[in-house]
Chain A
Amino acid sequence: MKQSFYGLLLFIFLILPPVAAIMESVMIVHMHMQMTLLVISGLLMGRFFQLKFPGFFRKWNANGIPGILLFMIIWSYWMVPRAMDEAITLQMVEWFKFASLPFLAGVPLRDSWKKIGAAGQKLVFGFFVAMFSFMAWLYIGADSQLCNNYLEVEQKTLGWGSLFIGVLLLVYVIQLFFIDTSEYE
């Protein structure tokens, strides 16, 4: 339960208006730090929901696929340039971001990750490698401004950041194929 409490603390900290405003003022922090941390806060809080409603997760997320799908859909949605822009300009969208990333992405990820097994995890990693590569291509290659609230140079930074994350994930996935982690457990 302790981790759920820390998750809640993190969540409250992130949605404090001054904290949110500072994080959203820089594009790459907005996407790769604020959004990631929101998911992490959900991951931590997930334990609370698992203990509180074990039946719900067992019934509706038996093999982990619905949960992981939901996580991937929510995360992909927030990668749309317009969603990021509107989170800044429309209060409603901002609230949806604060609700969806922890509770519709973080919590289901927590519940699904073990259930989907090693093969499923590799698929999810593959999805993210593809996605971050696409983002890198999109944000580095775009000649025009994709987000009205951010400068073009920030957009390029975000693109390179995405590429970096994509490469890291890829390296991680590749090593999974060559190194048998069970030997170390």
Chain B
Amino acid sequence: MIKSRHTTIAIIAVIIFGFVLFYIGTDGFRAFTAESARTYDIMQEKPAFPSVTLEDSKERTYTFDEFADGRYVFVTFMYTSCTTVCPQLEMNMASVYNQIPDEYIGEDIVFLSISFDPERDDPATLKKYRGYFDSDGETWRMARINNKKELQSLLDELGVIVIPNDNGDFTHNSAFYLIDKSGHLQQVMDYTLVDEAASKVNDILAAQGDDNG
């Protein structure tokens, strides 16, 4: 009798321990992969977009803040030699771009594709790549960050993990990032769910219109 009571207590203790372990380990059953944990953390933190200097496909250089100029910025990370995820990512980005009403484009929101492979992605390469996705080079720009330190701090801040592999390619996580008007990260969105991302961005843009009165 006493034995079985102890056993019952032990079983309950073990189950509670397991529950707590999984609860803490997955942010309350929300994040089972490091990627979802990262997205969750980042949405809570809303880090500021670090100050970086961009060089775009038209060989212009400016800082991110100069480009954003108080507008929303829709950001993706890619490299042009990528044959797997990046074309899909940029294609989907183009599709989001096309779903945003013209009145907002350039006024309230701009698009930016940032290359994390500055050695190969010079302005000429970016210019060619830009053409594949009908990016106009103004309201949707493709740019590289030449300063290695700035690039790394940006990737770290937004939790973009880039692993070079043996073939000169990179394995990297991908997402749509929306930076708000104050330069803070507002949304991290699944890049495979284009319509969802577009409607989310449209909602945000419409809401800020209401706020302005």
Contact = CB atoms under 8 A, between A and B. Distances in A.
Given A80-B25, A81-B34, A85-B34, A59 B6 contact: yes
Contact of B173 (A63, A80, A145): A145
Interface of A: 58-63, 65-66, 69-70, 73, 77, 80-83, 85-86, 89, 144-149, 151-152
Interface in B6-28: 6-7, 9-11, 13-15, 17-18, 21-22, 25-26
A103 B5 CA distance: 24
Contact of A152 (B26, B36, B171): B171
A148 B21 CA distance: 22
Contacts, number: 78
**Among all A-B residue pairs, the 3 with the closest Cβ atoms:** A66-B10, A73-B18, A85-B34
Contacts of A83: 25
A105 to B, nearest CB: 12
B18 A82 contact: no
Interface residues of B, number: 29
B33 A81 contact: yes
Given A70-B14, A151-B171, A65 B7 contact: yes
B4 A82 contact: no
A73 B21 contact: yes
B82 interface: no
B33 A147 contact: yes
B86 interface: no
Contact of B14 (A69, A89, A152): A69
A77 B21 contact: yes
A148 B172 CA distance: 8
A61 B161 contact: no
B31 interface: yes
A82 B171 contact: no
Contacts of A145: 35, 171, 173
A60 B2 CA distance: 10
Contact of B31 (A59, A62, A82): A82
15 contacts: A60-B10, A61-B10, A62-B3, A62-B4, A70-B14, A73-B17, A73-B18, A80-B25, A81-B32, A82-B33, A82-B37, A86-B34, A146-B35, A148-B38, A151-B163
B212 interface: no
Nearest to A69: B14
Contacts of B33: 81-82, 85, 146-147
Q: Is the interface of A mostly helix, strand, loop or mixed?
A: helix
Interface in B23-74: 25-26, 31-38
A18 to B, nearest CB: 21
B165 interface: yes
B141 to A, nearest CB: 27
A161 B33 CA distance: 20
A147 B11 contact: no
A85 to B, nearest CB: 4
Contacts of A144: 35
Contacts of B34: 81-82, 85-86, 89, 147-149
B3 A82 contact: no
A66 B32 contact: no
Nearest to B38: A148
A66 B3 CA distance: 12
A183 B21 CA distance: 43
Nearest to A93: B25
A123 to B, nearest CB: 15
A89 B37 CA distance: 13
B25 A77 contact: yes
A82 B32 contact: yes
Contacts of A81: 32-34
